[in-house]
Structure 1
Amino acid sequence: MVRILRDLANKYFSDEEAIVLFLILVVGTIFIIWFGAMLAPALASLIIAFILQGLVLRLKKMGVPDFVAVLGVFLMFLGVLVSFIFGLLPLVWTQVSNLARETPRIIRELQSYLEVLPDEYPQLVSAEAVDAIYQQVSAEVASFTQWLVSFSLSSIPDLVALLIYMVLVPILVFFFLKDRQVLVSSFARLLPSQRPMMISIWQEVNVQCANYVRGKAVEILIVGSVTYIAFKVLGMPYAALLALLVGLSVVIPYIGAAVVTIPVAVIGLFAFGWGSHFIWVMVVYGIIQALDGNVLVPVLFSEVNNLHPVAIIIAVLFFGGIWGLWGVFFAIPLATVLKAVFAAWPVKDTAQTPAMER
């Protein structure tokens, strides 16, 4: 066992830079797991600044001075943040509250739909199965309603924390953008002077992750906006809430669209019933999903190396289980980081060592 461990260490950790990188990855992961909740505003600000950095660099290439580019991008970010907080969130919360009040009616209509199934399809659906489904749905809806009431009663501490975040995050984003070179240089002094592997990994990660995160933010905005406009034109109730869900569903490839289709279909069914209006809603929703997958995604992510679907699903499950929603959103960038690390990791060829010694 000792000889096997020594051979593995000699093969994968013979380079000083590999040891330093391994320690950075381990310490960084432990630090985020233990202190991630405490430093959530700083981490969120760093991610937002990373997303906005590309726009700052593009303005600088057009001849805009650095501080003016940073200030302009920061003011744009503030405008989007204020519009989201005071425009979209109240509308979504109102629609969530209205949906909670409409839940009993939806449950009654669902029961009427389910009661017909055993008579029309006796070989496929039994009365016991319908009753079990109805009881399960009722229990889930009751728990959701209870959570909604308890959340509204205990939301004052959360609102105070939210107000603190609303102040801290913009300040940190501004300084991360303004002093990005100073911060990067300060961190680089802690690394070995000769670090070709780290530079290679950083260049790969910077290109791949930056393009992915910025492209995903643009995709969420476009898909959510188009869905909201389409649903409003079609008279779909809870258009803002459904558009937000559809926009966020693009974060999880393959899974998100399938999951969000259920609430879209259910609300459309209870709003319009079985008819041409419901069919038009689902057709338009399917067209939006098709255009997103076949047109928008190739345009936004043309420079991003595609991972295998199995690797994407495993990354979503793993990182989502560790870091929740943030882990789901950054599952693909984190998988790209691991891919870049494995590709650039120095491996010493030990196959010929015994022959050379002989």
Structure 2
Amino acid sequence: MLEQLNLWYKRKFSDPASATLLVMVVLAFAVLIFWGAMLAPVLVAVVVAYLLEWPVNKLDKLGMGRTWAVSLVLTLFISLSVLFMVALVPVIWQQGVNLLTEMPLFWSKTQTWLLTLPDAYPGLLSKQDIDMALVGVNERVVSLGKDILSASLSSIVSLVALMIYFILVPLMVFFILKDRGELLGNLAGIMPKDRRLLKQVGREMNTQIVNYIRGKVIEILIVGTVSAITFALMDLRYSLLLGVLVGFSVLIPYIGAAVVTFPVAIVALFQWGLTADFWYLMIAYGIIQALDGNLLVPLLFSEAVSLHPVYIIIAVLFFGGLWGFWGVFFAIPLATLVKAVFNAWSENSLPRQSERQVT
């Protein structure tokens, strides 16, 4: 066993480029794990810069000049973001408050329905079983209410942090885009000289991350907009709030669509009951999910590296547990990074094996 491990280590890491790649990957993950929260504004700025690099580069090639191109693109991006926040965020917030206000009514109706189950299924359920279950759920609901209250009391600190984001992130995005060449040159200066595999992984990941972020933003906008319009046309309550939830659910493949189905179905069920309107809505929602998975995703992510669903779920659970929302958002690019690193090691070991066989 030890001999096999020794052979595997020599095959993968005897090349200095492989050892350099391993060290850099470990250092990068260590920085993110220990200082990720502190560096969050920088990471957000890098993500936004990735999104805006394409239009900036196009305008620069047309002769506008990089500084003017960065200024124009960043101004348009900030203007659209502010317009979104002014026009939609207050409506979404109000619908969320209204939904939370009506949650006790939803729960009361649910309890009434649960208490009818022992009469409908006397051989399977008893009133005592339902009462015990309701006591446990009520305790959990009270605890959840306390958590929400404590979170609302600490929202002032979060608001201050959000204001800092609004100031720091645009400034960093501007300088990252404007001085991109200089920053990359400085980064290359502190990197090891033997970085052949690092360049290979970097080229692959640069394409993958840009395509993923841009495609995922477009997917969120399309799915969220279509869902909100569909819910509004069918006169579903909280249509904008639920449309936004459906849009953001695409961040988590497979899991997100399954999770967001519950609030959509619950609101529709309490609004209409098990009527034709309820089933029409669920059919429309199913069509949206089917078109997203079978038409939109293949079009947007045709150049992305395919990952098995099991790997995607593992990546979402692992990185989401480490970094919360941003871990979920970057779960697929990070999983692709891990795959690219292993591919680079494997491809690097093949020539060395062939050289040994020739000699």
Q: TM-score, normalised by structure 2?
A: 0.90
- Give the conservation status (yes or no) of the 8 Å contact 2:16–2:194: no
> Cα offset for 1:136?
4.3
Structure 1 range deviating more: 180-189 or 192-201 = 192-201
1:126/1:158 CA distance change after superposition, 3 Å: same
Alignment partners' CA distance in 1, 2:63 and 2:295: 32
Write out aligned runs for 1:213-292 (5 A): 213-292=213-292
Residue 273 of structure 1 aligns to which amino acid in structure 2? G
Alignment partners' CA distance in 2, 1:149 and 1:27: 39
> Cα offset for 1:133?
4.4
In the alignment, what sits opposite 1:120? Answer: 120
In the alignment, what sits opposite 2:157? Answer: 157
- Give the conservation status (yes or no) of the 8 Å contact 1:223–1:246: yes
Structure 1 range deviating more: 60-69 or 270-279 = 60-69
Structure 1 range deviating more: 3-12 or 170-179 = 3-12
- 1:123-173 superposed Cα distances (whole Å, 9 cap, x missing partner): 454434433443344334333332332222232222112111111111111
1:351/1:59 CA distance change after superposition, 3 Å: closer
In the alignment, what sits opposite 1:107? Answer: 107
Alignment partners' CA distance in 1, 2:123 and 2:178: 68
Residue 197 of structure 2 aligns to which amino acid in structure 1? M
1:277/1:135 CA distance change after superposition, 3 Å: farther
Alignment partners' CA distance in 2, 1:50 and 1:211: 10
> Cα offset for 1:223?
0.9
- Give the conservation status (yes or no) of the 8 Å contact 2:246–2:260: yes
> Cα offset for 1:281?
1.7
In the alignment, what sits opposite 1:306? Answer: 306
In the alignment, what sits opposite 1:67? Answer: 67
Alignment partners' CA distance in 2, 1:39 and 1:208: 22
Q: Which runs of 5+ in 1 are unaligned?
A: none
Structure 1 range deviating more: 243-252 or 83-92 = 83-92
1:60/1:126 CA distance change after superposition, 3 Å: farther
Alignment partners' CA distance in 1, 2:110 and 2:280: 21
> Cα offset for 1:8?
4.0
Residues 1:141 and 2:145 aligned together: no
In the alignment, what sits opposite 2:190? Answer: 190
Alignment partners' CA distance in 2, 1:45 and 1:131: 52
> Cα offset for 1:108?
1.2
> Cα offset for 1:83?
2.8
Residue 347 of structure 1 aligns to which amino acid in structure 2? S
In the alignment, what sits opposite 2:349? Answer: 347
Alignment partners' CA distance in 2, 1:128 and 1:63: 77
Residues 1:323 and 2:323 aligned together: yes
Write out aligned runs for 1:4-23 (5 A): 7-23=7-23
Alignment partners' CA distance in 2, 1:215 and 1:115: 47
SS at match of 2:88: helix
Identical amino acids, percent of aligned pairs: 47
Alignment partners' CA distance in 2, 1:121 and 1:151: 41
- Give the conservation status (yes or no) of the 8 Å contact 1:56–1:70: yes
Q: Which runs of 5+ in 2 are unaligned?
A: none
Residue 11 of structure 2 aligns to which amino acid in structure 1? K
- 1:58-104 superposed Cα distances (whole Å, 9 cap, x missing partner): 44455543233322221122023213433333322222221221122
> Cα offset for 1:262?
0.6
RMSD: 2.4
1:139/1:56 CA distance change after superposition, 3 Å: farther
Structure 1 range deviating more: 184-193 or 266-275 = 184-193
In the alignment, what sits opposite 1:208? Answer: 208
SS at match of 1:347: helix
SS at match of 1:53: helix
- 1:224-244 superposed Cα distances (whole Å, 9 cap, x missing partner): 111111112222112222122
Residue 146 of structure 1 aligns to which amino acid in structure 2? K
> Cα offset for 1:353?
5.8
Residue 16 of structure 1 aligns to which amino acid in structure 2? P
Alignment partners' CA distance in 2, 1:309 and 1:136: 35
SS at match of 2:116: helix
Residue 314 of structure 1 aligns to which amino acid in structure 2? I
In the alignment, what sits opposite 2:89? Answer: 89
